[in-house]
Amino acid sequence: MPQRYDVCIVGGGITGLAAAYYLERISRQSSVSYAILEASAAFGGKIQTDQLRTPDGEFLLEKGPDSFLTQKPWALQLAKALCLEEELIPINADARGFCVLKRGRPQPILPFLLSPVISPLGKLRMGLEPFVPHRKDISDESVAQFARRRLGQEAFDYLAEPLMSGIFSADPEQQSMQATFPRFLDIERQHKSLLLRMRRGGQDPSFLSYRNGMGTLVKTLVKTLQGRQTSSCGVEMISLLAPNKFQVLLKSGERVECSRLLLTVPAASAATMLPANYPALRTKLQELRTTSSGCIYLSFANHDIRRVLTGTGLVIPRVERRAINAITYVSSKFPGRAPEGQTLLRVFFGGSRNPKIMHQNDEAIAQIALQELESLLGIAARPSLSQVYRYQNGNPQYDVGHVAKSEALMRALPDGLFLAGSSYRGGGIPDCIYEGQRIAEKINASL
């Protein structure tokens, strides 16, 4: 006999875990039964923290995200609800700001007025932003079009583009403004100027992490949840037996039944699970693009770092044409990531800029990264640690028109089936937590 639950949540990344957490809280009276089914051995999806013991000491490596934005409040709210406030750490005070590569040299972005990253003419163009008329057309546009229109070409090339492709591994020429920065569009419509709005009390973005890595959030959620949580149990297929009655077939052969089914897996995985009689839905899911990217952690003895590493890292504009996308100075950014005497760096590669590098093996990636570190930061030593992580199709791409596409997808779902996660809305952890909460409310209301 198949096990029966009110709700099945497929995918135990942060969206699925947050959905379960809020479902439990909202439905405390009615005690909704649920199961989370996760394909990997570990919960957390992209959020994974590794602890690596080496002869030099212990390293703490984030496989995916290393922090979350507090300006979007949901990740911080969840941390507080889980009594994790004591575990939160800010970016080291002496590592504020970052550098941008300009003509082959890292240049600090702060203080901005003195920074050589943007020329005096480029800064003058940025200063004219309050006089740029707002766009009347409400159709979607790309991040590149928006940034060029409001701030000019140079601010796009040396600020918007490297920051965006660093975060989303995306091509700003294709990336949707509506899906990525709806807040900036609102500001443009309501206040006309982004710069004036930000000067008038816009909150500075700030990032937090966990003392023992982002995995703390996942571990605590998993410990707190009361429902069934099964890892190493990929879902093979789902079938709609009757309205609001689903059967979930696991790769182990087990069958599970539920009246509400929430898929928080990447869109491409969701497409493969759907029954063949939903071809249009499958196609819509398959149309959501992803890119692949990766990072390599390299650590060096402090005495091998001859130049001062300013800020939290180096972002590399596309126009600089390098083989890598960005470098985070991990041991400067957060405490407790590397043993005493070691400088830990994280070098990002791949994405929409350089997809071919993904075909290289780990040794070749290490060679490329080391050559770039020598050329950009003057580091010519052998690393004491080298560890590559890859995110195959791990970066959802919000192309222009993404919001309309996602909404059409949601409208096409049969009753009782729900989709949530970073494939559809909000690329970061706070957005995924918000999505989990919103979908839990929706599911609970539908029961």
Q: How many residues bind ligand FAD (CB under 6 A)?
A: 34
**Listed ranges 89-97, 282-290, 332-340, 428-436: which one lies at the site for ligand FAD (CB under 6 A):** 428-436
Which sign, positive or negative, has the C-alpha torsion 18, 19, 24, 29?
Answer: positive
Binding residues among 38-67 for ligand FAD as defined by CB under 6 A: 38-40, 45-47, 64-67
Q: Which is nearer to ligand FAD, 11 or 313 (CB)?
A: 11
351 contacts ligand FAD (rule: CB under 6 A): no
Interaction of residue 37 with ligand FAD, rule CB under 6 A: yes
CA-nearest of 402, 16, 421 to 181 is: 402
Nearer of residues 292 and 384 to ligand FAD, judged by Cβ: 292
Residues 213-272 that bind ligand FAD (CB under 6 A): 234-235, 264-266, 269
Please choose, out of 10-18, 171-179, 354-362, 437-445, the segment that lies near ligand FAD by the rule CB under 6 A. 10-18
Which residue, 155 or 217, is less far from ligand FAD as judged by CB? 217
Instruction: Indicate which single residue of 5, 9, 13, 369 sits in contact with ligand FAD (rule: CB under 6 A).
Output: 13
For residue 316, the minimal CB distance to ligand FAD (Å) is 16
Does 166 sit near ligand FAD (CB under 6 A)? no
In the list 74, 158, 297, 391, the residue contacting ligand FAD (rule: CB under 6 A) is 391
For ligand FAD, the closer CB: 135 or 211: 211
Nearest distance, CB of residue 340 and ligand FAD, angstroms: 25
CB nearer to ligand FAD: give 251 or 307: 251
**Minimum distance of ligand FAD from residue 351's CB (angstroms):** 10
* Of residues 67-96, those binding ligand FAD (CB under 6 A): 67-68
Binding footprint of ligand FAD on the chain (CB under 6 A): 10-16, 37-40, 45-47, 64-68, 234-235, 264-266, 269, 391, 394-395, 421-422, 427-429, 432
